[in-house]
Amino acid sequence: MKRSLSVLAAAVLLVGAMPRPVESDTGLRATVGPRPIPLPAVGRYHCHDLDRPIIRCFRAPAGRDRQVTRRLATGFGTSPGADTMLLDYYVTFYEHASYGGASYTTSGGLTNLADIGWNDVVSSFKSLNGLRPRWWEDAGYAGTAFMWSAGAQVSYVGDSANDRFSSVKKYP
């Protein structure tokens, strides 16, 4: 009995050490350059999801910002419907106050920030395109909602909201 238990424990350890699948039930998947990364690792990088369902991640925010800018420059007028999609990006959010730590620029709703390693992490954000995010303390846009004015640049969300957001979507 003891031996079979230790074999089982070893098997569990082995499974635990295997890379997690990059797919989630949201259909999102993530890369750093050409390399796929597990979705929960997204929270350690600087990413954007303008190419949904692909989340593109970078080791520095400048890499992400350059690519977002390039998408905007090349997107307008070159591909049907592209401007609508690109104008949908509405917020960059940050791990720490004063726009520090990991960051993420999104173009769509994120029903469960835990999927991408961002649950209860956000401390500051910058609204983009004159839009704004609406945040919820629970996944699935549930629980207490938090919102600031359109275009708000919020260097600290405050003690009552810090590290509490679990879902987000665009609000006009």
Of all residues in the shown chain, the one whose CB is closest to Ca ion is 123
Tokens of 91: 């917020």
Distance CA 42, CA 56 (A): 9
Q: Which H or E element spans position 85?
A: helix 82-87
With H, G, I as helix, E, B as strand and everything else as coil, classify residue 93.
Answer: strand
The DSSP bridge partners found for residue 32 are: 35, 57
Q: Does 120 bind Ca ion (CB under 5 A)?
A: no
Q: Which is nearer to Ca ion, 31 or 112 (CB)?
A: 112
Sketch the per residue contact string, 143 through 172, with Ca ion: x for CB under 5 A, - otherwise: --------------------x---------
Size of the site for Ca ion (CB under 5 A): 3
Q: Which is nearer to Ca ion, 82 or 152 (CB)?
A: 152
Near Ca ion by CB under 5 A: residue from 24, 103, 123, 127: 123
CB of 155 to Ca ion, least distance (A): 12
Question: Are residues 104 and 46 in contact, defined by beta-carbon separation less than 8 angstroms?
Answer: yes
